[in-house]
Amino acid sequence: MQTDLIIIKEYCRQSHVDPSFIISLEEDGLIDIQVVDGERYLPVEQLGDLERFVRWHEDLSVNIEGIGVIHELMGRMHDMQRELDRMRRELRLFHADYRNTPEEY
């Protein structure tokens, strides 16, 4: 299975992003870079994360460590929201079952 890859050097040139910023993101484990024949590539599925990190860095002046913290917290919030949605669905099912159960007094 071939993964679509973006040449980091080209992305940086077109987006006016410093390549060292992308290397720093990789060093902190925020993105994965693949090296093929000495050229660095980013998997296409990580492009959304990279663009979000670039915006946080450039628009909000968030450093690499801050980007890592924000990314982690947003991931946790997303997980908690999914858990809350699951619990609401279960509660609705429980409530519907309870209302349809004859009273046994």
Q: How confident is the model at residue 2 (pLDDT cuts 50, 70, 90)?
A: low
Q: Is residue 10 part of a domain?
A: yes
Condensed to tens digits (0 to 9), the pLDDT of residues 12-55 reads 999 999 999 999 999 999 999 999 999 999 999 999 999 999 99
DSSP the chain: -PPPEEEHHHHHHHHT--HHHHHHHHHTTSS--EEETTEEEEEGGGHHHHHHHHHHHHHH---HHHHHHHHHHHHHHHHHHHHHHHHHHHHHHHHHHHHTSPP--
Q: Is residue 61 part of a domain?
A: yes
Mean per-residue pLDDT over the chain, rounded = 92
What range does the domain containing 47 cover? Answer: 5-99
Q: Is residue 105 part of a domain?
A: no
pLDDT of residue 103: 64
pLDDT of residue 97: 73
pLDDT of residue 104: 60
pLDDT of residue 33: 96
Q: Please report, for the domain that includes residue 58, its CATH number.
A: 1.10.1660
63 CB-side CA count, 13 A? 1
Tokens of 10: 């080209």
